[in-house]
Structure 1
Amino acid sequence: MNFSNGVYHTQLNGINHWVRVAGRQNNSIPLVIIHGGPGGNHYVFERTIGPLLSTSRTVIYYEQRGCGRSEMPSDDTEYSVPLLIEDFKSLLHWLGGKKVDLLGYSFGGELALEIAHALPNIINRIVLSGPSLIHSEVNKLVQITGFCSVVDSKMYGQLQEILNEGKSIDDVYNAYWDRADRKVVDLLMFENQEIARRNRDMWEESSLVNTGLMFKALQKFPLSIPLIDRLRDISQQTLIMTGVFDRNTGIPISKLIHKELSNSELVLFHHSAHFPDLEEPEKFKETVLAFLEN
């Protein structure tokens, strides 16, 4: 890897991607950070927990096609798991083709598992923080229940009416998200609302606007064999970290993944919701570094 610390804009699989290298002086196996969303960015991570990790690890950030500071595809249909994996292969080539560790948060955790499944000889260790399974009905049920647990009594009644209409899980899920304002989303994602406000301020600083385009495209074109049915093929050592108050993906999804992986450990964060990296940063840093350096 012949790169110094800094920000790069490079063509990966035909799309101009934003890439940042930090902690290059540590000469560790590169730790590639994979953001969530789908459709998010790294702006918060690179200003909060990221610098704590790069004090002792070489950290590689990249933002997925159409996300953050990376280029959008010319065709709105050019979002799929196979394309995201091809983008990652190009990133590996750009980095020099050696083994890397992965840290994926939220949807990034799910994508990290897809990458590890596709590239078993290149991925060294895997760290997952609040991983999702976006094609799983269980994931949608976790969020539906999460919404019901944080809204006020008036909105709770409205949500119950939607449930009582006999709609499909997908219709209920979409209806709940259509009614969720910023306050409700922050309550869903965070236990500490002061941290939620700081996070949202940074989202706004970054000009993050998640249109839902990538999520809709990934939902429309699922893989023929769901990830949950392929997890047993992933043999890398994997650390799963989940906040006990995570109402977005939560303990049910992390336990499903933990149960299926052949070589994983699950660590719970007792003062966190969906972002333990923000609500318990010191424990997050220590847990990740201990796992990678063991």
Structure 2
Amino acid sequence: MASRKPDASSRVKVDGYEVVTYSFGSGSEVLFLLNGGPGLPSLYLREPLLPLLEQGYRIVTYDQLGCGASDRPTDPKLWTMARYVAEVETVRQALGLGPVHLLGHSWGGWLGIDYALTHPASIKTFILSNTCGDMPHLVGELNRLRAALGPETVAMMQHHEADGTIDHPEYQAAVTILNYRHVCRLQHWPEPVSLSLGDWNMGPYGTMQGPNEFLYIGNLKDWNRIPDLHRITRPCLILTGHFDELGPACAMRMKQALPDAELTVFPNSSHMPMYEEPAAYLARVSAFLGQHRG
């Protein structure tokens, strides 16, 4: 499947490096996408949202520094939340976007939260897709999901994590099971997902998050913005999957802390409802944006 080519693409200077942007459509209402990762190309997130072009939206995204077609420096000091927040604002201003409808998926949601807190006037609405506002709480949820594998498997995983042998086949097998339960439940992962995952730069990911989706030991491990979410007063839509690794419990913590938030749980999805339940996901995003046009 050939992905749609952007109507415009540019290189934007950030911290002495360049990131590559992608723009589709020409509407005045801009949906600005922040994809997951960190270290993932933007392809997987933009593809399922491109049908919104038919409703007159302009869709803009970019490959964050360190991934995709953007520059890939190797200095771990670059991989911080504050630097990425500044990067998002640099890109928005360079493209002359004005206030945007912001959609952040997974890590893009964490980045979006800090961005919305730092630059509140830059957004019209905020869609928090399959994300959370409290990393220590998420770690507890992930341990609960791991526990469903059984005590022997959990003990095996903890042994390899303590020994630094997480590349062992039995550990990787357990992570694979968790991925197919809680990241994407489709038997065959869609091509945009496979392409993005196949080009994952583990430098930013390992520095900020950890070695896999179920072990958070990076510089974000203590990140918690629940006490600050009351400052995000723009309309918010929270999306999660029933089986999501960042699931309904994480979503409810954000909803209870945000002043103006709606929450939708996709019953047959995990972390990728835009692929697992694409029609429902697109309809929900479209309805929310439609309430806040203009």
> Aligning the two structures, in what range does the TM-score lie when normalised by the shorter sequence?
0.7 to 0.9
Matched, 1:232 2:230: yes
The answer for the alignment partner of 1:158 in structure 2 is 153
Contact 1:39 1:212 in 2 (8 A): yes
Change (3 A) 1:71 1:81: same
Letter in 2 for 1:230: D
Q: Does 1:189 align with 2:183?
A: yes
SS at match of 1:180: helix
Closer, same or farther in 2 for the Cα pair 1:7/1:202, shift >3 Å?
same
What is residue 46 of structure 1 aligned with on the other side?
A: 46
1:115 offset after TM fit, Å? 0.6
Structure 1, residues 179-217: CA drift from partner, whole Å, max 9, x if none?
2346322233123x32xx233x54443441341533424
Matched, 1:37 2:28: no
Amino acid at match of 2:176: K
1:120 paired residue number:
120
Say which SS state the counterpart of residue 235 (structure 1) adopts: coil
Q: 1:12 to 1:258 in 2, by over 3 A?
A: same
| Paired letter, 2:240 | T
* Structure 1 Cα separation of the partners of residues 280 and 274 of structure 2: 8
Secondary structure, counterpart of 2:110 in structure 1: helix
| Alpha-carbon contact 1:147-1:176 (below 8 Å) kept | no
Alignment length (residue pairs)? 272
Whole-Å Cα distance in 2 between the matches of residues 144 and 29 of structure 1? 40
CA RMSD of aligned residues (A): 2.8
After TM superposition, the structure 1 = structure 2 runs for residues 50-199 of structure 1, keeping only pairs within 5 Å, are 50-56=49-55, 57-96=57-96, 98-133=98-133, 136-149=135-148, 151=149, 157-160=152-155, 179-181=171-173, 183-184=176-177, 185-191=179-185, 193-194=186-187, 197-199=188-190
Q: Structure 1 regions of 5+ residues with no counterpart?
A: 166-170
How far does the alpha carbon of each residue in 1:211-241 deviate from its partner, in whole angstroms, 9 at most, with x for none? 1533424665459983222111111100001
Report the TM-score, using the length of structure 1 for normalisation.
0.82
| Contact 1:13/1:86, CA 8 A, preserved across alignment | no
- Residue 77 of structure 1 aligns to a residue whose secondary structure is helix
Partners of 2:38 and 2:107 within 8 A in 1: yes
- Residue aligned with 1:239, SS: strand
| Alpha-carbon distance in 2 for matches of 1:225, 1:270 | 28
Instruction: Report how far residue 22 of structure 1 moved.
Output: 0.6
CA displacement 1:228-264 (0-9 Å, x = unmatched): 2211111110000111111x11111111111111111
Unaligned runs of 5+ in 2: 1-5, 210-216
C-alpha separation between the residues in 2 aligned to 1:147 and 1:188?
10
Structure 2 match to 1:265? 262
Corresponding residue for residue 168 of structure 1: none
Provide Cα deviations, 1:21-69, integer angstroms capped at 9, x if missing partner: 0122xx232110000112222222233x122222221100112111222
Identify the residue that residue 208 of structure 1 maps to in structure 2. 199
Q: Find the aligned partners of 1:145 and 1:176 in 2 and give their Cα distance.
A: 19
The alpha-carbon deviation at position 290 of structure 1 amounts to 1.0
Percent sequence identity is 22
Counterpart residue type for residue 55 of structure 1: E
Identify the range of structure 1 (7-16 vs 28-37) with the bigger mean alpha-carbon deviation.
7-16
Between 1:231-240 and 1:73-82, the stretch displaced more is: 73-82
Query: What residue is the counterpart of 2:272 in the other structure?
Result: 275
Q: Using a 3 Å threshold, how does the CA distance of structure 1 residues 215 and 261 change in structure 2: closer, same or farther?
A: farther
Amino acid at match of 1:31: L
Query: Cα–Cα, structure 1 residues 175 and 237, in superposed 2: closer, same or farther, change >3 Å?
Result: farther
Q: How does 1:9-24 map to 2 (within 5 A)?
A: 9-24=11-26
Q: SS where residue 216 of structure 1 aligns?
A: helix
